């Protein structure tokens, strides 16, 4: 009788769950949200909710959009969406109506290419079988270019593609090869793909150079992400026609600050100096500190060829061995760059600050400045460390004030992401000869704090106007709260290393716990791994007209104002600021939001290209070290193998499952480990291992390792089983080891 009552209650609960999810339309939810909504507070009820959602997803009644997050499908038999082509044959369509990813077999694809807009027919869903769709029409074809290596025959050519979006090579008629020869790296545009043809047809767009040559490979990386690698001749000509034009009339319309001590602090290889600092003591004992930014928009006016090209690019791109500037070098390295001993037009935030770094007042104005000295970060750092050198009093004062501001910022919940950057020593042919790490020191942090202050001040000036006036449309740099699931995953992984992170409560408390963890991991083998995971747990910062604040910095108002030479959003901010300071009306918010979205997308592409160039150089660097062994840390555990990051140079490679030949390993997703069926041996996230460099495929940017040795954790035996400290000591090198088949007894509780 009791069992019958339990079943009846369970059926009622399942019915409430189904009723609730049917009402959610396009919302996403997890089991905790469902349980809270229907009042299922008991643990046994919450387990029922979780299992019901899993079962509904299995049956096709729900879509699992990410692990543990669901939505109700808005599926109909006919739909539209974006085609996703994969070289492994796992093609799919992301539907417009609810973002569901539906499999499309190659025979049902109509040769649609990645990014094409398509109309599909969705087959009836069968229990336990993933849905499948058939492309019935290509609505809009996306212009498709691919990078690869040419193989030229007598009457035709083939492009052997490097793309993950195309499984076949591209056929090129002889007349469309554009002078390319076998071995050339080339960009090819697909022109057609006949229904009865195995291969698409294409034409050569550009020859990048010989396969394997540094310039060709760097240009190929840019082209892979749709980023330009040359400037149109018309844009270069337009830039060269511009002169500095600092006339008496222009100066008279600006605040003249050329007599105030001013200097720049930049990387030693920098040529585009877009920010400078000035400082002088006021009669009342306070300081006047100016943050001066190159006035790029004085020279680059809207709707010109220069402006259209800058808007299209949206950002400079920083690869391993070069910078691809947003603006032609005549502007970026010449007229706009705040070079020493040259009068420059600037847009400035001028602050009055007391000895405790409190801002007493501020002014935003167009100015004329003159830099007295160009410092590299290393030179400024030496002044800070020794107290000696040019402008020592000014630099030491700015450093002292910056440290106060920095401490205050962290106390208010700003997250301290301070990771070393991987850099390469490059020879004359572009080949990497060494790896080193760029670490942020006091001189870098000095500049960072004053740039943050200027960006925050500008955003607040527009976003929080005085009186009851309504804020005008503006470009904000926003950063949403971290994804709760990713934050929980980070906390779980960090706990395996002995670190604790808060996952709930006030944002300031969560961020302070993150800062404690990031400080505690300094100098440890897991530092780079955990700090990388912490960054990945955060939302991506983007540009938007809708201000939600910047979570990572802990600022309610923030924008990008300080780098207009290399970021188009900063140019947008300069124009809006000038307009509003002159009393102009608010601009069209919809158009501004589109420009913000484009800039955010281009920023992500540039970051992806930068990472690809680093990965390419890492593989190229390790190709010279085949057969050598290195200590590393397991940074990823997947069903296809282990990712290991080398401690010496942070190069990451894969230990494929096929190369773990001593046993058959199962993937334990919940505990982030591989477990040997026969031996019980474990490879866990964060484990230290010694690996041998087995393969380095430069073309695919892939690095393969094999395990040479496993360094046991202090609390586990040879098979990865938990042991007492005394037992662990008996397994150390030089000690007699137990038979691996011996049972390890649990220590008694005390």
Coil/strand/helix, residue 44 = helix
Predicted local distance difference test score (pLDDT) of residue 503:
81
Predicted local distance difference test score (pLDDT) of residue 26:
65
Distances (CA, A) of 179 to 175, 184, 192, 232: 9, 10, 21, 22
- Pairing of the two strands 262-266 and 373-376: parallel
Most confident of 221-235, 343-357, 413-427, 483-497: 343-357
Binned at pLDDT 50, 70 and 90, residue 723 comes out as: very low
Predicted local distance difference test score (pLDDT) of residue 56:
80
| Rounded (10°) CA dihedral 39, 42, 44, 46 | 40
Specify whether the CB–CB gap between 576 and 591 falls below 8 A: no
Binned at pLDDT 50, 70 and 90, residue 421 comes out as: confident
Residue 199 predicted with pLDDT over 70:
yes
The predicted-structure confidence for 491-507, as pLDDT tens digits, reads as follows 888 887 888 888 877 88
Residue 681 predicted with pLDDT over 60:
yes
The predicted-structure confidence for 734-749, as pLDDT tens digits, reads as follows 333 333 333 333 233 3
Residue 156 C-beta-side C-alpha neighbours within 13 Å: 9
Residue 717 predicted with pLDDT over 70:
no
The Cα 150–Cα 158 span in angstroms is: 6
Distances (CA, A) of 158 to 106, 146, 185: 21, 12, 12
Predicted local distance difference test score (pLDDT) of residue 737:
36
Interhelix angle 43-58/31-38, nearest 10 degrees: 120
For the purposes of burial, counting CB atoms within 10 Å of the CB of 233, is it exposed (0-12), middle (13-18) or buried (19 or more)? Answer: exposed
Binned at pLDDT 50, 70 and 90, residue 241 comes out as: very high
Residue 64 predicted with pLDDT over 70:
yes
Residue 601 predicted with pLDDT over 50:
yes
Q: What percent of the chain has pLDDT over 90?
A: 51
Higher per-residue confidence, 323 vs 76: 323
Specify whether the CB–CB gap between 112 and 85 falls below 8 A: yes
Quick one: which of 180, 170, 190 has its CA closest to 216?
180
Interhelix angle 2-22/31-38, nearest 10 degrees: 110
Is this prediction's pTM over 0.85?
no
Predicted local distance difference test score (pLDDT) of residue 5:
61
Predicted local distance difference test score (pLDDT) of residue 47:
81
Residue-wise burial string across 99-109, b where 16 or more C-beta atoms lie within 10 A, e elsewhere:
bbebebeeebb
Binned at pLDDT 50, 70 and 90, residue 126 comes out as: low
Residue 207 predicted with pLDDT over 60:
yes
Predicted local distance difference test score (pLDDT) of residue 28:
77
Q: Lowest-confidence range among 92-96, 125-129, 476-480? A: 125-129
Residue-wise burial string across 552-582, b where 16 or more C-beta atoms lie within 10 A, e elsewhere:
bbbbebbbbbbbbbbbbbbbbbbbbbbebee
Q: Max alpha carbon distance in the chain (Å)? A: 98
Q: How high does pLDDT run on average in the chain? A: 86
Q: Lowest-confidence range among 226-230, 379-383, 711-715? A: 711-715
Specify whether the CB–CB gap between 747 and 724 falls below 8 A: yes
The predicted-structure confidence for 626-641, as pLDDT tens digits, reads as follows 999 999 988 888 889 9
The predicted-structure confidence for 558-592, as pLDDT tens digits, reads as follows 999 999 999 999 999 999 999 999 999 999 999 99
Coil/strand/helix, residue 601 = helix
Predicted local distance difference test score (pLDDT) of residue 235:
94
Q: Average pLDDT in the 127-143 region?
A: 79
Residue 129 predicted with pLDDT over 70:
no
Higher per-residue confidence, 161 vs 127: 161
Specify whether the CB–CB gap between 161 and 186 falls below 8 A: no
Predicted local distance difference test score (pLDDT) of residue 539:
84
Q: Lowest-confidence range among 38-52, 234-248, 672-686? A: 38-52
Predicted local distance difference test score (pLDDT) of residue 167:
82
Coil/strand/helix, residue 19 = helix
Residue-wise burial string across 663-695, b where 16 or more C-beta atoms lie within 10 A, e elsewhere:
eebeeeeeebbbbbeebebbbbbbbbbebbbbb
Give 206-241 as a DSSP string: EEEEETT-HHHHHHHHHHHTT---S--HHHHHHHHT
CA 320 to chain centre: 16
Predicted local distance difference test score (pLDDT) of residue 452:
97
Residue 527 predicted with pLDDT over 80:
no
The predicted-structure confidence for 425-481, as pLDDT tens digits, reads as follows 999 888 999 988 888 899 999 999 999 999 999 999 999 988 778 899 999 999 988
The Cα 405–Cα 441 span in angstroms is: 16
The Cα 112–Cα 534 span in angstroms is: 38
Specify whether the CB–CB gap between 539 and 548 falls below 8 A: no
Predicted local distance difference test score (pLDDT) of residue 730:
41
Predicted local distance difference test score (pLDDT) of residue 476:
98
H or E segment to which residue 283 belongs:
none
Specify whether the CB–CB gap between 160 and 169 falls below 8 A: yes
Residue 2 predicted with pLDDT over 60:
no
- Which residues does 321 contact at the CB level (< 8 Å), separation at least 6? 214, 218, 424, 426, 430, 613, 617
Predicted local distance difference test score (pLDDT) of residue 716:
54
């Amino acid at each position: 009788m009791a069992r019958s009552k339990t079943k009846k209650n369970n059926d009622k609960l399942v019915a409430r769950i189904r009723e609730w999810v049917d009402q959610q339309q396009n919302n996403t939810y997890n089991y905790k949200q469902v349980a809270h909504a229907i009042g299922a507070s008991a643990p046994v009820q919450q387990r029922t909710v979780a299992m019901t959602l899993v079962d509904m997803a299995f049956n096709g009644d729900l879509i699992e959009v990410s692990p543990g997050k669901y939505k109700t499908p808005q599926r109909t038999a006919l739909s539209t969406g974006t085609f996703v082509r994969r070289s492994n044959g796992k093609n799919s369509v992301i539907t417009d109506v609810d973002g569901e990813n539906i499999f499309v077999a190659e025979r049902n694809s109509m040769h649609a290419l990645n990014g094409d807009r398509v109309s599909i027919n969705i087959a009836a869903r069968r229990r336990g079988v993933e849905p499948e769709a058939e492309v019935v029409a290509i609505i809009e074809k996306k212009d498709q270019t691919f990078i690869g290596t040419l193989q030229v025959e007598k009457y035709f050519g083939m492009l052997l593609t490097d793309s993950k979006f195309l499984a076949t090579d591209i056929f090129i008629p002889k007349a469309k090869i554009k002078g390319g020869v076998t071995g050339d790296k080339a960009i090819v545009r697909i022109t057609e793909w006949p229904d009865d043809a195995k291969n698409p047809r294409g034409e050569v767009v550009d020859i990048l150079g010989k396969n394997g040559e540094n310039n060709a490979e760097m240009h190929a990386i840019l082209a892979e992400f749709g980023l330009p690698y040359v400037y149109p001749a018309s844009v270069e000509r337009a830039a060269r026609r511009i002169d500095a034009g600092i006339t008496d009339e222009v100066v008279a319309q600006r605040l003249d600050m050329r007599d105030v001590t001013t200097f720049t602090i930049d990387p030693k290889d920098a040529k585009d100096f877009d920010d400078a600092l000035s400082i002088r003591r006021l009669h009342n004992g306070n300081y006047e500190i100016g943050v001066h930014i190159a006035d790029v928009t004085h020279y680059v006016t809207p709707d010109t060829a220069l402006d259209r090209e800058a808007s299209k690019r949206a950002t400079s791109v920083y690869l391993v061995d070069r910078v691809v500037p947003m603006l032609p070098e005549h502007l970026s390295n010449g007229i706009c760059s705040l070079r020493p001993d040259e009068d420059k037009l600037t847009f400035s935030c001028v602050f009055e600050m007391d000895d405790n770094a409190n801002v007493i007042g501020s002014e935003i104005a167009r100015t004329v400045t003159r830099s007295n000295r160009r410092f590299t970060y290393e030179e400024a750092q030496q002044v800070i460390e020794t107290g000696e050198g040019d402008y020592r009093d000014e630099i030491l004062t700015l450093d002292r004030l910056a440290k106060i501001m920095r401490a205050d910022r962290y106390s208010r919940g700003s997250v301290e992401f301070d990771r070393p950057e991987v850099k390469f020593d490059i020879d004359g042919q572009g080949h990497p000869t060494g790896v080193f790490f760029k670490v942020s020191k006091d001189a870098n942090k000095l500049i960072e704090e004053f740039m943050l202050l200027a960006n925050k001040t500008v955003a607040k000036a527009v976003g929080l106007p005085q009186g009851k006036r309504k804020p005008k449309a503006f470009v904000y740099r926003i950063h949403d709260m971290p994804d709760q699931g990713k934050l929980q995953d980070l906390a779980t992984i960090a706990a395996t290393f002995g670190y604790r992170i808060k996952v709930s409560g006030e944002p300031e408390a969560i961020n302070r716990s993150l800062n404690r963890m990031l400080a505690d991991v300094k100098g440890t083998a897991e530092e780079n791994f955990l700090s990388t995971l912490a960054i990945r747990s955060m939302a991506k910062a983007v540009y938007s007209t809708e201000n939600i604040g910047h979570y990572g910095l802990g600022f309610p108002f923030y924008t990008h104002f300080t780098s207009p030479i290399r970021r188009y959003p900063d140019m947008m901010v300069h124009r809006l600021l000038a307009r509003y300071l002159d009393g102009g009306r608010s601009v069209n918010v919809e158009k501004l939001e589109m420009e913000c979205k484009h800039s955010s997308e281009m920023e992500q592409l540039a970051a992806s290209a930068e990472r690809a160039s680093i990965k390419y150089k890492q593989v190229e660097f390790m190709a010279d070290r085949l057969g050598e062994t290195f200590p590393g840390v397991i940074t990823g555990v997947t069903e296809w193998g282990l990712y290991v990051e080398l401690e010496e140079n942070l190069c990451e490679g894969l230990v494929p499952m096929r190369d773990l030949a001593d046993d058959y390993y199962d993937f334990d997703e919940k505990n982030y480990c591989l477990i040997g069926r026969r031996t019980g041996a474990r490879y866990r996230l964060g484990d230290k291992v010694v690996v041998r460099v087995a393969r380095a495929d430069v073309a695919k940017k892939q690095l393969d390792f094999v395990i040479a040795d496993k360094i046991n954790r202090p609390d586990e035996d040879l098979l990865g089983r938990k042991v007492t400290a005394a037992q662990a000591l008996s397994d150390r090198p030089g000690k007699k080891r137990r038979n691996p088949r011996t049972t390890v007894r649990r220590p008694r509780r005390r």
